[in-house]
Amino acid sequence: MIYYDKVSKIYPDKSVALDNVSFGVEPKEFVTIVGHSGAGKTTLMKLLIAEDYPTAGSVFLESTNVHSLNKKQMSKLRRRIGTVFQDYRLIPNKTIYENIAFAMEASGHTDHEISADVPHVLELVDLAHKIWNFPHELSGGERQRVAIARAIVTQPDIIIADEPTGNLDPTNTFEIVRILKKINEMGTTVLLTTHNKGVVDAVGGRVITMENGKVIRDDKSGKYIL
């Protein structure tokens, strides 16, 4: 479904984020990508949603090279991928409801669908009572759950979650992992990056280990080994 083909990324300051990385992800897989900070995990995610461009190599979603698309096709592709950002990236002057509704509006859902689905997805992440709050009124864990709700509400084919538990306490961390596993069981492909051993063990799926921009291990049902 997703295929990284000999991808390298060198930033303008000459730091090498990815060095000739190749791997594929099957539909409905739950892939955890682990590695130290700076190992290239976030860059991998950014390349998939074309937030950044590779220096060499290509990234494919099914048979489409994601970096060959025009603006309109790019927007369509992004609607197939739900992204949970490390720093949440909620829109500060929109309420929780509007933040989630916006993703649905952008992907062309009707008003009826929006008013039905948004409360439902907030219930799923246990935040129905904060629906009219603004992001700055929420705790870190709550914001992260809103970010997940936003990513899954459009029922995308793929969820990519970049260190979604990075700023959270253990209770919240496992809550997030539980939600992601549930989404995966419903048939969504999930790509998760983390450097938290507990998270890897809790997920228990395929683990790709990265170091200095290279894939050094790819275990079908791995453990966190570094």
Structure token digits, residue 133: 């709050």
Site for other proteins in 148-177 (CB under 8 A): 150, 154
Considering only 111, 123, 137, 185, the residue that binds other proteins (CB under 8 A) is 111
Instruction: Tell me how far, at minimum, the Cβ of 73 lies from other proteins, in Å.
Output: 11
What's the Cα-to-Cα distance from 181 to each of 175, 178, 190, 197, 217, rounded to whole Å? 10, 5, 8, 16, 22
Instruction: Tell me how far, at minimum, the Cβ of 190 lies from other proteins, in Å.
Output: 18
70 binds other proteins, rule: CB under 8 A: no
143 binds other proteins, rule: CB under 8 A: no
Residue with Cβ nearer other proteins (143 or 206): 143
148 within 8 A of 142, measured Cβ to Cβ: no
77 binds other proteins, rule: CB under 8 A: yes
> What is the longest distance spanned by two Cα atoms in the chain?
50
Residue with Cβ nearer other proteins (52 or 219): 52
Site string for other proteins, 27-56 (x = CB under 8 A): ----------------------x-x-----
Contacts to other proteins by CB under 8 A: 49, 51, 71-72, 75-81, 83, 85, 89-93, 98, 102-103, 105-108, 110-111, 150, 154
